[in-house]
Amino acid sequence: MKRSLTFVCILASGMGAIALAQTGGSAAAVPSAPVPASAAAPAGPAKVGIIQFQQAVGGTNEGQRDFAELRKKFEPKQTQLKSQSDEIDSLKKQLQTQGASLSETARASLTKQIDDKTKTLQRQAEDAQNDFQQETGETYQKLAEKVYLVVQTYAAQNGYTVILDASAQQSPVLWATQGIDISQAIVDAYNQKSGVPTQPTQTTPSAPSTAPRSTTPKPATTTPK
């Protein structure tokens, strides 16, 4: 039953695409873009910056809007699955409290009914979860490609030699000072470019610790990974 309710828990927690991207792999990939042939490394010492790229994507006004719309789209399915789960729990309670007084035929029929409904719920929950994860990944990837272009422009304009993604699972960043984190600068630059207004505060329950809980990316630079 825990497995069958995975999708319900994901939506009820308000988990966004970034959390799924962190565990999903392909959706979290930073899009690659060719560096112009005319680009040259700035003279002098290398200037290195870091970014919480996945959190920055989700922290943009456009990201908050798109992921909120996606969660809203799947709310009816969440409600349906929750109703089915409650029905199964009610039948289980009935079997537990009345099982001794039921005839063998009635008890077997109730047991089969519970089993059939449980299997149906599991299938539907898995299908819904797969659909949700696929659409989440597609939404994230489209936005990530646009944010990545802003990172390129920002880095070139500010003389950065290297920008490291500190949100990647295999991030090379072990520790860094907070001053070199450009996450919020990228979010601000993208918001200005996109023109999407600040989104209203969402009333969905807080996400688990694996999902971003703030619209401002928190640098992971003050604490060793």
The whole-number pLDDT of residue 168 equals 82
pLDDT at 131 over 70: yes
Note whether 68 and 202 are within 8 A (CB).
yes
pLDDT in tens, 154-170: 999 999 999 999 998 88
The whole-number pLDDT of residue 42 equals 56
Q: Taking Cα atoms as reference points, which of 150, 185, 201, 157 lies closest to residue 30? A: 150
Neighbours of 217 (CB within 10 A): 25
The whole-number pLDDT of residue 40 equals 55
The whole-number pLDDT of residue 16 equals 43
Can you point out the beta strands (E) in the chain? 48-51, 162-165
Note whether 184 and 28 are within 8 A (CB).
no
Give me the mean pLDDT over the 103-129 stretch.
95
Handedness of CA 5, 6, 7, 12 (dihedral sign): positive
Neighbours of 140 (CB within 10 A): 26
pLDDT at 106 over 50: yes
* 6: Cβ contacts below 8 Å, ≥ 6 apart: 125, 126, 129
The whole-number pLDDT of residue 169 equals 81
pLDDT in tens, 2-22: 444 444 444 444 444 444 444
Whole-model pTM: value is 0.70
pLDDT in tens, 21-37: 443 444 455 555 444 44
pLDDT at 221 over 70: no
